[in-house]
Amino acid sequence: MIPADLDEVLRLEAENPSPWSREDIEREIGRYDRILYVTVDETLGVIVGWCCCRFLDDQAELLKIAVLGSMRRRGVASGLLTLLLEYLAGRGVQALYLEVRSRNFPALRFYRKHGFAEVGRRRRYYFSPDDDAIVLERDFAQ
């Protein structure tokens, strides 16, 4: 992801229940300890998905993965996650963590399909609506 992608990513974010602001995304672009990817649909010529991850030494945290509503269930998120996992493995990362709402069953199924396992729960972590956060880990040693 480059700064020129920002407006398209913001349009995509506007469709999501917990959208990041322009400032949130600008803060992540270009940081040495972050990786941001976008997926462009060549036919449409637009960004249809993006992700943001932070890493430090042998651990990483997936901060965001989002896909344009009309492009969901077409492998966009899987492609982004696979690319990210390959990059992190190449950097020697041993574990990738993330949090997801406990009632977000499609996301939980998605991450479990990609080798993540529940390692914790943060009670009442989310609001509007109130919900627990499930902490998931993808162990690269597996």
Structure tokens at 93: 């990362």
DSSP for 56-111, written as a single string: ETTEEEEEEEEE-GGGTTSSHHHHHHHHHHHHHHHTT--EEEEEEETT-HHHHHHH
SS3 12: helix
| Active site residue ranges | 99, 111
